């Protein structure tokens, strides 16, 4: 029996770059040359782990300028650029509302500092009253590390076998499953189908 459902934000609750070419487009727009894309990805992956636990993503701009010789406009914000490319996931709201009729719901997300509140302010997230929010930048731990799942379980006040975790990353899903949670791997390539499949899965498990 499911008593608590945790949702990931980017790629599930909100349409971010997952399953799209938006990251490639953003790199092109800021001036990353095609021959430098792989190097830039490696650079960004390295620093994103720091961003998930509190580093301001805009502090990477001087490093990018120095390493990749990019010219940014004086008021450019990488964080704002990300958020401006995100979209609402219209398909997820009715699913969460139906789930919330029978159990509690929360967010379990690797985030950038201040990004979640900015997305809420921009109304990109569903207008849901979440019972628990686990934000990596506030908790100083991140997925797929086990500490964030232990914390989320504690705050849910639910037994692990009664927690359902919805995420679009296989590595995160695998850790949660090994920890004893129920899991659903969400496919951000097709949000409508993923939402329909999620509701079907939940109805079978509740």
Domain boundary (85, 112, 135) is at 85
Give the model confidence (pLDDT) of 61-88 as tens digits. Answer: 999 999 999 999 999 999 999 999 999 9
> Is the domain of 189 the same as that of 105?
yes
> Is the domain of 80 the same as that of 94?
no
Helices (H), the chain: 22-30, 37-51, 61-68, 78-85, 92-100, 115-121, 136-139, 146-156, 170-179, 191-205
> Is the domain of 57 the same as that of 141?
no
> Is the domain of 182 the same as that of 92?
yes
The residue segments making up the domain with residue 38 are 22-85
CB 161 within 8 A of CB 2: no
Other CB atoms within 10 A of residue 170 CB: 10
Q: Using the predicted structure, report yes or no on whether residue 99 has a pLDDT greater than 80.
A: yes
> Is the domain of 119 the same as that of 194?
yes
Residue 58 DSSP symbol:
G
Q: How many domains does the chain have?
A: 2
> What is the structure's pLDDT at 205?
87
Convert 181-193 to b/e letters by CB count within 10 Å (16 or more is b): bbbbbbebeebee
> Is the domain of 162 the same as that of 190?
yes
Give the model confidence (pLDDT) of 155-179 as tens digits. Answer: 999 999 999 999 999 999 999 999 9
What is the rounded CA–CA span in Å between residue 6 and residue 8? Answer: 7
Q: Which two tokens stand for residue 83?
A: 């958020």
Task: Give the strand pairing for 182-185 and 4-7.
Answer: unpaired
> Is the domain of 103 the same as that of 156?
yes
> Is the domain of 99 the same as that of 74?
no
> Is the domain of 187 the same as that of 96?
yes
Domain boundary (70, 85, 100) is at 85
> Is the domain of 177 the same as that of 136?
yes
> Is the domain of 181 the same as that of 100?
yes
- 117 band by pLDDT with thresholds 50, 70 and 90: very high
> Is the domain of 38 the same as that of 99?
no
Which CATH number do you get for residue 193?
3.40.50.1000
> What is the structure's pLDDT at 76?
97
Q: Is the pTM of this model over 0.85?
A: yes
């Amino acid at each position: 029996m499911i008593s608590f459902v945790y949702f990931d934000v980017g790629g599930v609750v909100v349409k971010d770059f997952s399953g799209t070419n938006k990251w490639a487009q953003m790199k092109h727009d800021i001036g990353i040359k095609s021959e430098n894309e792989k190097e830039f990805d490696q650079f960004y992956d390295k620093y994103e782990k720091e961003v998930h636990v509190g580093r301001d993503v805009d502090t990477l701009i001087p490093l990018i300028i120095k390493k990749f010789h990019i010219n940014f406009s004086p008021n450019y914000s990488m964080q704002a650029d990300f958020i401006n490319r995100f979209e609402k996931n219209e398909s997820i709201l009715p699913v969460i509302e139906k789930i919330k009729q029978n159990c509690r719901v929360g967010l379990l997300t690797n985030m950038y500092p201040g990004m979640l509140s900015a997305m809420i302010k921009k109304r990109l997230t569903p207008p849901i009253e979440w019972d628990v929010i686990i934000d990596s930048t506030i908790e100083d731990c991140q997925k797929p590390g086990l500490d964030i799942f232990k914390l989320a379980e504690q705050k849910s006040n639910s037994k692990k076998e009664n927690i359902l975790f919805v995420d679009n990353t296989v590595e995160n899903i695998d850790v949660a499953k090994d920890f004893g949670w129920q899991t659903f791997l969400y496919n951000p390539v097709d949000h409508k189908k993923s939402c329909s499949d999620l509701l079907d899965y939940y109805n079978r498990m509740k």
